[in-house]
C-alpha cells in the first residue's frame, strides 16, 4: 500500500510532495475509471503525549501531520466496488453490501468502513476508489485510521450521509474493533479527522470534547524511524495490554465505588489494590494512571512555555512505556536516549502503540541540525540502518482537496 520507509523530507519540500501524491492517485484513477467524483486527503497523526490512555478514557495530545493517504472516489451505477492501492497494485473487488474477501491486507478497513456506514441503511451505490500516499504502514503514524476515516469521510460526502467528523471517528474505531480485531481507543481517528494546522488537539476521550493548543513556532516535531515494523492486529500485544488494563480495572471497580475507567483511578487507589493484583497488571495500570497525570502536566507546561517540564513529561512517558507498559523495543530506546543527549532537544519518546515505528522528539528549531547529525550517526552505528528523519508539520484533518 505505502512505501515501507519515508524519505528525508523537510518542511519546505512538503507542499511539492503533497501535490505529487495527489496527482499520482488522481492519474491512476483516471487511467482506470475516468474522472473521480472527489479526491480526499486523509492525514496520519503524531501523539505528543498520552500513549495508551485513550482506551482508558484519558486525555491525549495528538495532531494530524503532513503525511497522508489520498483517495480518489467515484460512484458506480451498480452495487459493486473496486478499490485499488496505487502503491502496490493490489485490488479489492467487493460488493458495497456484503462482507469483502480477507485479502489484500487492508481489505478489513475498506469492507469495515462499508459495513459500518451501511449500519443505518444500505449505501446508495457501489464505488471505485484508488488510494495511495506517503504514510508508512506499521510505523505508529496511524495509516489504518487514515485509510478508514478517509474512505468513510469520502463516502459520507459523496452520498450526503450527514455524519459529522466525530461520528466518523467513532465509526472508524468500530471498524478497528469489529473488522480488524484491535480494541483501540479513538485517538487516531479523531486526530486524523479533526487535526488543525500548527495545533495539537487536547482530546478528552471520556466525553470527546477537545480544544486546540498551539505549538510555539520555534519548536519542531521530529520523527526518527526505528526501522522496526509491527502489525497491531497480527501480534495481539495491543489487545493483551488492553486485557491487562481491564483486569486491573475490574479489581479496582470491585473495591472503589464510582470507578468507571482507569481515568478515575488515583495513584493511592492503585497502591492500595497492589497486593491483590498480578505484578504485570499492576505495572500496566500504574503506567496508565501516571501517563494521564503526565498529559495534564504537559498541557500546563505547553501553556506557560515551560520546556523543562514538558520535556521531562515526554521522557518519563518513554520510561513508563519501556519499563511498566513494556511496549518499547531496543531500537526505540536507543533513539530516544540519543536524542535526549542533544543540546536543544526538549524531550524524546517512542510514539504510538509501540514495538517499532518512530520516536517523536520535540526540539528547538536551531538545534535541528545537531539532532539530525546525532540521529544519523546512531542509526548507522548502532542500528545499522540509514537514518530516516522526518521533521513534521501539524496539518489540517481530513479534507476534500478537489471535487
Residue with cell 520546556: 307
Binding residues among 172-211 for ligand GLA as defined by CB under 6 A: 184-185, 187-188
Told to check if 353 binds ligand GLA by CB under 6 A, we report yes
Nearer to ligand GLA, 87 or 188 (CB): 188
DSSP tag of 207: T
Nearer to ligand GLA, 53 or 110 (CB): 53
Nearer to ligand GLA, 60 or 158 (CB): 60
Q: For residues 345 and 195, what is the distance between their CA atoms, to the nearest angstrom?
A: 24
Q: Which of 42, 56, 142, 226 binds ligand GLA (CB under 6 A)?
A: 142
Binding mask 45-74 for ligand GLA (x = CB under 6 A): --x---xx-xx-------------------
Ramachandran bin of 142, using left for φ above 0, alpha for ψ from -120 to 50, beta for the remaining angles: left
Beta strands 80-85 and 91-95, pairing class: antiparallel
Say whether 318 sits in a helix, a strand or coil. Answer: helix
Q: For residues 250 and 88, what is the distance between their CA atoms, to the nearest angstrom?
A: 44
Counting residues that bind ligand GLA (by CB under 6 A) gives 12
> Smallest distance from the beta carbon of 182 to ligand GLA, in angstroms?
6
Catalytic residue, chosen from 134, 188, 290, 324, is 188
Whether 97 and 124 have beta carbons less than 8 Å apart is answered as no
> Smallest distance from the beta carbon of 336 to ligand GLA, in angstroms?
16
Cβ count within 10 A of residue 365: 15
For residue 357, give the C-alpha cell.
515505528
Say whether 362 sits in a helix, a strand or coil. Answer: strand
> Smallest distance from the beta carbon of 337 to ligand GLA, in angstroms?
21
> Smallest distance from the beta carbon of 146 to ligand GLA, in angstroms?
11
Nearer to ligand GLA, 132 or 185 (CB): 185
> Smallest distance from the beta carbon of 377 to ligand GLA, in angstroms?
29
Burial class (CB in 10 A: 0-12, 13-18, 19+), 110: buried
Say whether 141 sits in a helix, a strand or coil. Answer: coil
Told to check if 141 binds ligand GLA by CB under 6 A, we report no
Q: For residues 307 and 382, what is the distance between their CA atoms, to the nearest angstrom?
A: 29
Binding residues among 253-312 for ligand GLA as defined by CB under 6 A: none
**SS3 labels along 247-267:** HHHHHHHHHCCCCCCHHHCCH
> Smallest distance from the beta carbon of 327 to ligand GLA, in angstroms?
8
DSSP tag of 52: T
Stretch that binds ligand GLA, among 44-52, 274-282, 292-300, 388-396 (CB under 6 A): 44-52
Active site residue 218: no
Binding residues among 233-252 for ligand GLA as defined by CB under 6 A: none
Closest residue to ligand GLA, judged by C-beta, is: 184
Q: Which residues bind ligand GLA (CB under 6 A)?
A: 47, 51-52, 54-55, 142, 184-185, 187-188, 352-353
Active-site residues: which are they?
Answer: 188
Amino acid at each position: 500500500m505505502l512505501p515501507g520507509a519515508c524519505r528525508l523530507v523537510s518542511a519546505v519540500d512538503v507542499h511539492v510532495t503533497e501535490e505529487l501524491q495527489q496527482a499520482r492517485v488522481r492519474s491512476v484513477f483516471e487511467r482506470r475509471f475516468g474522472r473521480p467524483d472527489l479526491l480526499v486527503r486523509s492525514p496520519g497523526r503524531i501523539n505528543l503525549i498520552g500513549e495508551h490512555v485513550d482506551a482508558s478514557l484519558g486525555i491525549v495530545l495528538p495532531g494530524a501531520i503532513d503525511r497522508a493517504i489520498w483517495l480518489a472516489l467515484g460512484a458506480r451505477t451498480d452495487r459493486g466496488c473496486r478499490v485499488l492501492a496505487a502503491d502496490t497494485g493490489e485490488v479489492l473487488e467487493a460488493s458495497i453490501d456484503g462482507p469483502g474477501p480477507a485479502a489484500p491486507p487492508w481489505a478489513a478497513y475498506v469492507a469495515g468502513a462499508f459495513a459500518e456506514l451501511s449500519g443505518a441503511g444500505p449505501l446508495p451505490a457501489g464505488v471505485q476508489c484508488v488510494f495511495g500516499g506517503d504514510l508508512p504502514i506499521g510505523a505508529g503514524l496511524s495509516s489504518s485510521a487514515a485509510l478508514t476515516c478517509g474512505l468513510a469521510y469520502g463516502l459520507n460526502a459523496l452520498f450526503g450521509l450527514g455524519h459529522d467528523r466525530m461520528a466518523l471517528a467513532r465509526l472508524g474505531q468500530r471498524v478497528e474493533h469489529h473488522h480488524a480485531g484491535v480494541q483501540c481507543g479513538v485517538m487516531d481517528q479523531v486526530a486524523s479527522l479533526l487535526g488543525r494546522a500548527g495545533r495539537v488537539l487536547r482530546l478528552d476521550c471520556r466525553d470527546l470534547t477537545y480544544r486546540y493548543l498551539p505549538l510555539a513556532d520555534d519548536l519542531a516535531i521530529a520523527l526518527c524511524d526505528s526501522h522496526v515494523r509491527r502489525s497491531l492486529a497480527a501480534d495481539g500485544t495491543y489487545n493483551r495490554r488492553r486485557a491487562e488494563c481491564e483486569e486491573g480495572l475490574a479489581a479496582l471497580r470491585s473495591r472503589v465505588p464510582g470507578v468507571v475507567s482507569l481515568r478515575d483511578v488515583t495513584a493511592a487507589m492503585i497502591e492500595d489494590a497492589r497486593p491483590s493484583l498480578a505484578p504485570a497488571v499492576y505495572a500496566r495500570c500504574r503506567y496508565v494512571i501516571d501517563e494521564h497525570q503526565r498529559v495534564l502536566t504537559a498541557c500546563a507546561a505547553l501553556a506557560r512555555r515551560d520546556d523543562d517540564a514538558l520535556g521531562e513529561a515526554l521522557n518519563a512517558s518513554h520510561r513508563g512505556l519501556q519499563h511498566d507498559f513494556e511496549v518499547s523495543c531496543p531500537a526505540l530506546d536507543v533513539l530516544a536516549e540519543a536524542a535526549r543527549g542533544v543540546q536543544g532537544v526538549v524531550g524524546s519518546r517512542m510514539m504510538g502503540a509501540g514495538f517499532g515505528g518512530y520516536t517523536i522528539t520535540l526540539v528547538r528549531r536551531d538545534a535541528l541540525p545537531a539532532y539530525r547529525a546525532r540521529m544519523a550517526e546512531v542509526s548507522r552505528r548502532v542500528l545499522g540502518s540509514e537514518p530516516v528523519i522526518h521533521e513534521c508539520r501539524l496539518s489540517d484533518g481530513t479534507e476534500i482537496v478537489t471535487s
